[in-house]
A and B are shown apart, each in its own frame.
Chain A
Amino acid sequence: MNAPREPTLVVDRLTTRFASRSGAVTAVDEVSFSVAPGEVLGLVGESGSGKSLTGFSILGLVDPPGEIAAGSIRLKGRELRGLSAREWRALRGDRIAMIFQDPMMTLNPVLRIDTQMIETVRAHRHVGRDAARELARDALARVGIPSPDERLRAYPHQLSGGMRQRVAIAIALLNAPDLIIADEPTTALDVTIQAQILFEMQTLCRESGTALIWITHDLAVVAGLADRVCVMYAGRIVEQGSTAQVLETPAHPYTRGLLDSTPAANAQPDEGGQPQPLRQIPGMAPSLKEIPAGCAFRPRCTHASELCEQVPPAVELAPGHVARCFHPLPATQGVKP
Chain B
Amino acid sequence: MSAQQPIQAAALQQAPVNTPGSEPATGPLLELRSIRKTFGAQPDWLERLGQRLGWLQPAATVQALDGVSLSIARGEVVGLVGESGCGKSTLGRIAVGLHAPSSGQRLWRGTDLDALPEAERRRVGLGIQMIFQDPYASLNPRLRVRDLLAEAPRVHGLIDRPQQADFVAALLRQVGLDPAVADRFPHQFSGGQRARVGIARALAVKPEFLVCDEAVAALDVSIQAQVLNLFMRLREELGLTYLFISHDLGVVRHLSDRVAIMYLGRIVESAPTAEIFSRPAHPYTQGLLAEAPTLKVEKKRFLAIRGELPSPLAPPRGCHFHPRCPHAFERCREEVPMLGEVAPGHVSACHLHAIGVEASSVSEG
Identify 27 residue pairs between A and B in the complex whose beta-carbon atoms are under 8 Å apart, listed by A's number: A46-B220, A47-B220, A162-B308, A190-B83, A190-B84, A192-B83, A192-B287, A193-B308, A195-B302, A195-B305, A196-B303, A219-B221, A219-B295, A220-B294, A223-B293, A258-B221, A258-B222, A259-B295, A262-B295, A263-B254, A264-B294, A265-B294, A269-B274, A277-B229, A277-B232, A284-B192, A285-B222
Indicate if the CB atoms of B297 and A244 lie closer than 8 Å.
yes
| B191 cross-chain contacts in A, Cβ below 8 A | 47
Q: What 0/1 readout, one digit per residue, does chain B (257-274) give for beta carbons within 8 Å of chain A?
A: 000000000000000001
A247 touches B (CB below 8 Å):
yes
A217 touches B (CB below 8 Å):
yes
Give CA–CA (A282, B223) in the complex, Å: 9
* Given A47-B220, A192-B291: 6 more A-B contacts, CB < 8 Å: A190-B247, A223-B295, A261-B221, A265-B277, A278-B225, A280-B222
Indicate if the CB atoms of A191 and B294 lie closer than 8 Å.
no
B309 touches A (CB below 8 Å):
yes
Going nearest first, the 5 A-B pairs with the smallest beta carbon separation are A261-B225, A195-B302, A220-B293, A263-B254, A265-B249
Give CA–CA (A78, B292) in the complex, Å: 39
Q: What 0/1 readout, one digit per residue, does chain B (282-323) give for beta carbons within 8 Å of chain A?
A: 000001110111111111111111101100000000000000
Indicate if the CB atoms of A262 and B297 lie closer than 8 Å.
no
A266 touches B (CB below 8 Å):
yes
Q: What 0/1 readout, one digit per residue, does chain A (268-283) give for beta carbons within 8 Å of chain B?
A: 0110100101111110
Give CA–CA (A307, B191) in the complex, Å: 31
Nearest to A197 among chain B residues (CB) is B302
B182 touches A (CB below 8 Å):
no
| B223 cross-chain contacts in A, Cβ below 8 A | 46, 284
Indicate if the CB atoms of A192 and B295 lie closer than 8 Å.
no
B225-279 residues with Cβ-Cβ distance < 8 A to A are 225-226, 228-229, 232-233, 247-251, 253-255, 274, 277-278
Cβ-defined partner of B309 (8 Å) among A190, A264, A269, A278? A190
Q: What 0/1 readout, one digit per residue, does chain B (1-17) give for beta carbons within 8 Å of chain A?
A: 10000000000000000
B190 touches A (CB below 8 Å):
yes
| B274 cross-chain contacts in A, Cβ below 8 A | 269-270, 272
| A269 cross-chain contacts in B, Cβ below 8 A | 274, 277-278
Q: What 0/1 readout, one digit per residue, does chain B (105-128) give for beta carbons within 8 Å of chain A?
A: 000000000000000000000000
| A224 cross-chain contacts in B, Cβ below 8 A | 293-294, 296, 298-300, 302
Which B residues form the contact surface with A (CB < 8 A)?
A: 1, 83-84, 190-192, 220-226, 228-229, 232-233, 247-251, 253-255, 274, 277-278, 287-289, 291-306, 308-309
Indicate if the CB atoms of A266 and B294 lie closer than 8 Å.
yes
| A281 cross-chain contacts in B, Cβ below 8 A | 222, 225-226
- CB B240 to nearest CB in A, in angstroms, measures 14
| B296 cross-chain contacts in A, Cβ below 8 A | 223-224, 266
Q: What 0/1 readout, one digit per residue, does chain A (196-208) give for beta carbons within 8 Å of chain B?
A: 1011001000000
Indicate if the CB atoms of A191 and B250 lie closer than 8 Å.
no
- CB B148 to nearest CB in A, in angstroms, measures 21
| A265 cross-chain contacts in B, Cβ below 8 A | 248-250, 253, 277, 289, 292, 294
Indicate if the CB atoms of B301 and A199 lie closer than 8 Å.
yes
| A221 cross-chain contacts in B, Cβ below 8 A | 293
| A162 cross-chain contacts in B, Cβ below 8 A | 308
Give CA–CA (A220, B224) in the complex, Å: 15
Give CA–CA (A279, B224) in the complex, Å: 11
Give CA–CA (A221, B295) in the complex, Å: 8
| A336 cross-chain contacts in B, Cβ below 8 A | 295
Give CA–CA (A202, B300) in the complex, Å: 10
Contacts A190-B84, A275-B254 hold; do A280 and B225 have CB atoms under 8 A apart? yes
Q: What 0/1 readout, one digit per residue, does chain A (90-113) give for beta carbons within 8 Å of chain B?
A: 000000000000000000000000
A144-199 residues with Cβ-Cβ distance < 8 A to B are 160, 162-163, 190-196, 198-199
Indicate if the CB atoms of A191 and B291 lie closer than 8 Å.
yes
Cβ-defined partner of B305 (8 Å) among A192, A202, A247, A261? A192
